[in-house]
Amino acid sequence: MITIRDALKQFLADTGEGNRRSMSSPFNIIDLFGTYLDGYGHEGLNEFERARFDREWSEDARFCDMFGPDHIEPYHLNFFLNTFVIRKVMGTKGFLKACGPVIEKLAAWLLEQGHWDAEAVRYYRELIGDGAGGDLVGCRDLTEALHRYVQNHPLDEEAVDRDDDDYFDDQLTIKKVEPGKLIFEGLVDDEDITIRLPKSVTSKARAGWSVTMEIARIGGQWRILGLGNVYP
């Protein structure tokens, strides 16, 4: 049986691995994808496959060594691009720009090789949209701009009331972007949450992105206490 590990090596042999010394090379992006699958790929297994995984796993036999490329699911590619890379990888802008095109090639190759069918491609496109990974650099830029703003505008967190609807620690989706304002979809009674920020920050944002934030309403205005990441 051809394993996922074998398939990823064949993909690179067929499409090119680039310069291995460059973080943004297909070789290193696919190697990172394999690392992601070894760490998280088992989470989607059915109970029988999971039992086999738990029984056979070892340092020398991981997810990519146990299962074939038919176990590379569309949501794996989506999670890798839009969550794993953002949370786990301190990559350069060149790396972020390269991730999407490499994953697009992988999706096309899986179809060409018969590991995916048309339904898998449809699901992949539904998850990814057009231009896989196209927002990664923009999300990184907005994250950095928000962190700089919060660092330069610290609040007295001990004075914040965290016991009512004037406080949230959650992931919020940007509903609308206006110069100097980010408007997020509300979490309570569909009331939108508006956060005023410098235009230099809001200009980097896009509707539909999500931001993990700790926010509080102080003096009638929502303020940012802490930040996580921005996701496309």
**Alpha carbon 140 to chain centroid, angstroms:** 11
pLDDT attached to residue 187: 74
Instruction: Compute the mean pLDDT over every residue in the chain, rounded to the nearest whole number.
Output: 92
Give CA–CA dist 53/55, Å, rounded.
Answer: 5
Structural domain spans, the chain: 4-134, 148-231
Average pLDDT over every residue of 55-74:
94
Angle between helices 93-112 and 26-40 (to 10 degrees): 70
User: Which pLDDT tens digit goes with each residue over 106-145?
Assistant: 999 999 999 999 999 999 999 988 778 888 999 999 999 9
Lowest mean pLDDT among 17-21, 32-36, 126-130: 126-130
Q: Architecture of 148-231 per CATH?
A: Beta Barrel (2.40)
CA distances from 100 to 33, 136, 157 (A): 12, 9, 38
Of 24-33, 72-81, 210-219, which range is least confident?
210-219
> What is the mean predicted confidence (pLDDT) over 147-174?
82
DSSP assignment of 109-157 = HHHHTTSS-HHHHHHHHHHH-SSTTTTHHHHHHHHHHHHHHHHHS---G
Task: Report the 10 Å Cβ neighbour count for 216.
Answer: 20
Strand partners, 170: 213
pTM of the full predicted structure?
A: 0.85
Place of tokens 């999300």: 139
